[in-house]
Amino acid sequence: MKLVEITKDDIRSDSVGIIPIGSIEQHGPHLPLGTDGIIAEYISVKVEEELKDRVLLFPTIFYG
């Protein structure tokens, strides 16, 4: 469940939060600056798909 799309009543007592984090940095001319965050978000979404209602997916945090 994406945290920004639910209400507090949707949160279970055994919920686990995932916060994807990635740096903003140059990876050469062939990749975007947010590659690390894009990968982290992709992996987080796949985990959320496997665990369904147990996971609260927070927005991706980019830093750098």
DSSP lists the bridge partners of residue 38 as none
Output the pLDDT for position 52: 84
Residue 16 has what pLDDT? 95
State the pLDDT at residue 58: 97
* 25 Rama class: left (phi>0) / alpha (psi -120 to 50) / beta: beta
- Prediction pTM value: 0.86
Q: Compute the C-alpha angle 32/36/40, nearest 5°.
A: 130
Rounded Cα distance, 60 and 52, in Å: 18
d(CA 22, CA 61): 6
d(CA 16, CA 57): 9
Our count of domains for the chain comes to 1
Domain that holds residue 30: 3-63
Q: What is the pLDDT along the chain (64 residues), one digit of tens a residue?
A: 999 999 999 999 999 999 999 999 999 999 999 999 999 999 999 999 999 889 999 999 999 8
For residue 64, the model assigns a pLDDT of: 86
What was the pLDDT predicted at 9? Answer: 93
